[in-house]
Chains A and B, each alone.
Chain A
Amino acid sequence: MKRFLAWLSCALMLATAFGAVAAEAPDALINRISNEMLDKIKADQDLRAGDFAKIAALADTTVMPHVDFQRMTALAVGRNWRSATPEQQKRLMEEFRVLLLRTYSGALSAVNDQSIRMKPMRAAPEDTEVIVRSEVVHQGREPIQLDYRLRKVDGAWKIYDVNVLGVWLVETYRNQFAQEVSSKGIDGLIRSLSERNRGPDQSKKP
Chain B
Amino acid sequence: MTRVPARIGRLFAASFVAGAILLGGCATLPGSEASRSPRDPFESYNRAMDAFNQALDDAVVAPAARAYRDALPEEMRALVSNFFANLWDLPSAGHQLLQGKPERAFMGLFRFAVNTTLGFGGIADIATPAGIERHREDFGQTLGRWGMPPGPYLVLPIFGPSSARDTLGLVLDFRNDPISYIDSTGTRLGLRALWIVDLRERLLDASTLVQGIALDRYLFVRDSYLQRRRNLVWDGEPPEDDEEEEDVYNGK
Contacts and interface: CB of A to CB of B under 8 A. Distances in A.
Tier of interface size on chain B = 35 or more
B224 to A, nearest CB: 5
Contacts of A61: none
A156 to B, nearest CB: 12
B22 to A, nearest CB: 27
A166 B129 contact: no
B190 to A, nearest CB: 26
Contacts of A79: 246, 248
5 contacts: A78-B248, A140-B128, A145-B236, A168-B227, A171-B227
Given A140-B125, A172-B220, A151 B34 contact: no
Contacts of A103: 209, 213
B117 interface: no
Contact of B228 (A77, A78, A167): A167
Contacts of A174: 223
Given A106-B205, A151-B251, 15 more contacts: A78-B248, A103-B213, A143-B133, A166-B232, A166-B236, A167-B224, A172-B224, A173-B215, A174-B223, A175-B35, A175-B219, A179-B32, A196-B215, A201-B211, A203-B208
Contacts of B34: 178-179, 182-183
A119 B39 CA distance: 31
Interface of A: 68, 70-71, 74-75, 77-79, 81-82, 99, 102-103, 106, 133, 139-143, 145, 151, 153-154, 165-168, 171-180, 182-183, 192-193, 196, 199, 201-203
B209 A106 contact: yes
Nearest to A79: B248
Contacts of A139: 129
A180 B252 CA distance: 27
A176 to B, nearest CB: 4
Nearest to B231: A166
Contacts of A68: 251
B37 A175 contact: yes
Q: Which 8 A-B pairs have the closest CB atoms?
A: A166-B231, A74-B249, A182-B34, A179-B35, A176-B215, A167-B224, A166-B228, A167-B227
Given A166-B236, A167-B228, A183-B32, A142 B128 contact: yes
Contacts of A153: 251-252
Contact of A202 (B212, B220, B252): B212
A70 B238 CA distance: 26
B243 interface: no
A47 to B, nearest CB: 17
Contacts of A193: 215
